Structure 1
């Protein structure tokens, strides 16, 4: 009978690497003693783990604050692919790495395709704002930060995955879906990218005009008009009877052209009614995120009667399965096109936005000392089962993961605290109804 999986080995492995890195960099055991005193005094702030670095804060005399960083080399995509390939080859892949309790057997590179998940001494460096000499060297604050992280890994190894460049949530979803990551919207699940067959408003019309121009020879000049022509603009004109001939290739099919026409009429009516001016569309100039991506508008198109027949084509274009498409439409229901954009793909936002959001939600967190993972436009509180995604509309869109996959819930808000409360409310509602 095999031994049960444990997690404590992660703490031992990282502690050994930190000690070796410190010996290489300074060779001064006094730093270790000073770091231990800081932790014993309980002066450390919230531990935040990001891709490539972890950070916290310590108070300094005079009301100043020291902000140390533990910098770690990220694994490359090729390295992570090798790790995941090795994990999928195991019959116990989900038990070993598919839950939050990642087995510390994976500290041995022999189980991860020869790629070490625990950073070696050469992968670790320190920096801190406590003094100029600590700008690129170890100090008691940065060493204490490393110890704090190692202690967290004793029971929660997931932050190490984020630190090394790929959040554990991504790895877990890939393992549980047999190599398919449903969270990476816009990426085909396997094989070559599917053909884009779903009509995309405006863009498809422009493509159709361009193709028609390329494939149609220039028309001969019209014969001269012999004289003035009186146009009857008031009388009745006969409507062609029967169906029209199918458009020639490579123009879109008649059904797609009908849908585009209906969608153009719908958007024109919405503009006249002022609906698009009331927050139904992402604001212009909202940044270089996915707000301008045609994919973020497909959810609006599918929600209308003329868009419903193109659901499967949209799934193929976006690389979504049935569950992903359901969550994508929920994101649009709760947050409009900007909510759909926030679901589809991550994009980079300013560091100040993330820091401000972390500070605002901190009093609301049930596990205040648990780490928060920051990745692109997303804040993830794994301990609470809550994720916030910053959208191109300037709002935070709340998510829960009741079944291991993040799904949107109602309550997007420009205030991250309100969005966090909405996620907690949705969690309580799900527990009552389940």
Structure 2
């Protein structure tokens, strides 16, 4: 499922956001956006931004939405997996007929509003402005809407791909039962013991116990299935020695926190390089993605590989502090910064920062439309942002 946005998403969300507020409130919200540049933060169940009251006091209004349940997401994923081809996030998904009757765009009744500017709960210019900001964001990328409704888009895409690959496996498997969607067991044939053929006893063999024979005439025999081959077992022995030496030297933590990051570490070593293709198949990565995973490990170690492969939950305050740190460095300070999971994305600058399990921000840039790891991870998001900009600079000059 490849992301593709159109204006239909923005128009639908704008209509939902402006249904309940009166015309004066909507006009005041638009004047706020025209007068004050602010960044939008999208989280599961709410979106927020910072504005200033006439007194200069800052306020952070929240536009809250009713999140879809796990059962509703499961039905949506099933509907998307049943589509005959990969249309991505086209505007047809704004029609609930394509998402199991469950609308992705919330209705006006799904919203609730909180803002320090008024003690009453209801739409004010600030919360309406947050909704209009989100609608404008959907013109270029629809993924924040999925986060807003309660589930990150990458989780939906993974579930749909898994379902599609599972259906293809069942369709290609002999003995598959298309009605039950389970593999049909092969019928068992029982043979009475009296009718079973008897294996004749072999004839005795004359052994020459006087002649010399080599102990290993042709080398060790191959390990029995399903054990790995001799070459693979040798690589595992070499890797165990490497891990032990790294632990003794205390130079690094050699093992990754999961299979994916450990495969990035393993294939970066001389004894693991021949198994790069097998690692790609195991992780479900293509050649470009595997190259980026290797770069992430080169620049940031196993934590860098983990930040490439996985998303982590980072509290909103941590994202807000990082966003404030990079704000003076941004070439387009009024453009939206997308905050999702552990990632800050500045599309206008072509920069993304990913917070890793090592407590560092790992820089990314997108020279060809795909996020690529850059050198220079740092606990300081401003330094990581500068590293990503430096990595992108040669590509901007050659365009």
Q: Could you say what the CA RMSD is over the residues aligned between the two structures, in angstroms? A: 3.8
1:252-331 alignment runs, 5 A limit: 252-276=228-252, 292-331=257-296
C-alpha distance in structure 2 between counterparts of 1:382 and 1:418, whole Å: 18
Q: Which of residues 19, 32, 38 in structure 2 aligns to 1:38? A: 32
Taking structure 2 as the reference length, the TM-score comes to 0.72
Unpaired runs of 5+ residues, structure 2, are: 170-214
Counterpart CA distance in 1 for 2:55 and 2:349 is 35
Instruction: Please tell me whether the aligned partners of residues 379 and 388 of structure 1 are also in contact (alpha carbons under 8 angstroms).
Output: yes
Residue in structure 1 matching 2:50, options 41, 49, 57: 57
Q: 1:312 to 1:9 in 2, by over 3 A?
A: closer
State whether structure 2 residue 331 is matched by structure 1 residue 335.
Answer: no
Instruction: Check conservation: 1:21, 1:124, Cα contact below 8 A.
Output: no
Is 2:117 the partner of 1:124?
no
Contact 2:76 2:99 in 1 (8 A): no
Change (3 A) 1:243 1:71: same
Q: Say whether the 8 Å CA contact 1:67–1:130 is kept in structure 2.
A: no
- Aligned-pair distance for 1:118? 2.8
Q: Kindly tell me: are residues 260 and 106 of structure 1, through their superposed partners in 2, closer, same or farther at Cα, counting changes over 3 Å?
A: closer
Q: How far apart in 1 are the matches of 2:235 and 2:354? A: 32
In the alignment, is the contact (CA less than 8 A) between 1:65 and 1:130 conserved in 2? no
Q: Tell me the matched-pair count.
A: 347
Secondary structure in structure 1 of the residue aligned to 2:47: strand
Name the SS of the counterpart of 1:292 in structure 2. coil
Q: Which range moves more in the overlay, 106-115 or 64-73?
A: 106-115
The structure-2 alpha-carbon separation of the partners of 1:188 and 1:317, relative to structure 1 and needing over 3 Å to count, comes to farther
SS of residue paired to 2:368: coil
Rounded Cα–Cα distance in structure 1 between residues aligned with 2:146 and 2:75: 12
Q: Which runs of 4+ in 1 moved over 6 A?
A: 166-171, 239-242
Matched, 1:397 2:396: no
Q: Deviations over 1:27-54 (max 9, x none)?
A: x5554454355345x2453222334322
**Cα distance change on mapping 1:348 and 1:160 into 2, 3 Å:** closer
Listed as ranges, the matches of 1:32-431 within 5 Å are 32=26, 34-39=28-33, 42-43=35-36, 45-60=38-53, 64-74=57-67, 76-78=72-74, 80-81=76-77, 84=80, 89=85, 93=87, 97=89, 107-109=94-96, 114-131=101-118, 133-134=119-120, 136-153=121-138, 159-160=144-145, 162-164=147-149, 190-191=165-166, 243-248=219-224, 251-276=227-252, 292-431=257-396
Structure 1 unmatched ranges of 5 or more? 23-27, 181-186, 195-238, 283-290
In structure 2, what is the equivalent of residue 19 of structure 1?
Answer: 18
Q: State the SS of the aligned residue for 1:349.
A: coil
d(CA) in 1 for partners of 2:143 and 2:127? 21
